[in-house]
A and B are shown apart, each in its own frame.
Chain A
Amino acid sequence: MIPLGPLPAAVPPSWYLILSAILFALGVLGFLLRRNIITVFMSIELMLNAVNLSFVTFSYVLKRVDGHIFSFFVMVVAAAEAAVGLAIILTVFKNRQTLEIDEVSSLKN
């Protein structure tokens, strides 16, 4: 699959997609494993970044600019999401004095 021996002069686009998939999987892993709200939130940002890399790679493959526009919009949405999300985290901390997601469970049951 991955050629052993001398390295090719340039990598195929699928390597970028594999990197994107690995980063996305790491983001999912962090989202599921971490217990701190802020780290969970940062894992979401990592997933958004991984998707952006896919967009830009496909933009290169298809020789069109649309992928760049899409990743630009993803960045805008991520910025808006960070502003609102961090405000929510501040409010949660103000009301409960904790950042552990397991202790913020009043919607459970």
Chain B
Amino acid sequence: MDTILFLIFAAIAVICGINLVVQTHPISSALSLVGVMGALAALYLLLGGEFIAAAQLVVYAGAIMVLFVFVIMLLNAGTEKRLNVRPLGKYLGAPLLLVFFGMMAYLIQKVMPPSSPVVFGAFQGGTAAEIGKSLFTVYLLPFEVTSVLILIAILGAIVLARKEVD
């Protein structure tokens, strides 16, 4: 069951990822990215990351992608010009990419020490309680620094996007 779920969601993620690269209209790319994020949220759940899965859906698929779609609509972004790819890249690109993926998979299998397979429910440390405990004890300083980062980001966004007032 775990294998089937992994294969389904991995296939969704990879197909949506390819679609993101191939599509020429930004809206299609944005929707593909939402698909990738949804599939990844399901995979986080399989890995025992309940909190991260929820945050992935709420923050990424919910907030960030809405922002993207909003900007795409606002700027009325249309289809982009076709790339003129050289024939070498056109016919050799995809096979070379597959070879690259194969080599990467081989290398990862080789480097990764043998470990127990991923079973749903085997790791219980990803709950909101555990993450909260860790976040407010061990990682308290980075967490507080994050608030400064967000403040700077808000200020930067306002300064960049405001109307020029003379």
Contact = CB atoms under 8 A, between A and B. Distances in A.
Interface of A: 1-2, 7-19, 21-23, 25-27, 29-30, 33-36, 38-39, 41-43, 45-46, 49, 52-53, 56-57, 59-61, 63-66, 68-69, 71-73, 75-84, 86-91, 93, 99-100
Nearest to A32: B21
Contact of B2 (A9, A80, A88, A89): A9
Contact of B83 (A19, A22, A33): A33
Nearest to B1: A9
Interface of B: 1-4, 6-7, 10, 13-14, 17-18, 20-21, 26, 29-30, 33, 36-37, 40, 43-44, 47-49, 51-52, 55-56, 59-60, 63-64, 67-68, 71-72, 74-75, 77, 80-81, 83, 97, 100-101, 104-106, 108-109, 112, 114-115, 117-119, 122-123, 125-126, 130-131, 134-135, 139, 142, 146, 149-150, 152-154, 156-158, 160-161
A57 to B, nearest CB: 6
A39 B83 CA distance: 14
Q: Chain B interface mostly helix, strand, loop or mixed? A: helix
A65 B47 CA distance: 12
A18 B105 CA distance: 6
B129 to A, nearest CB: 10
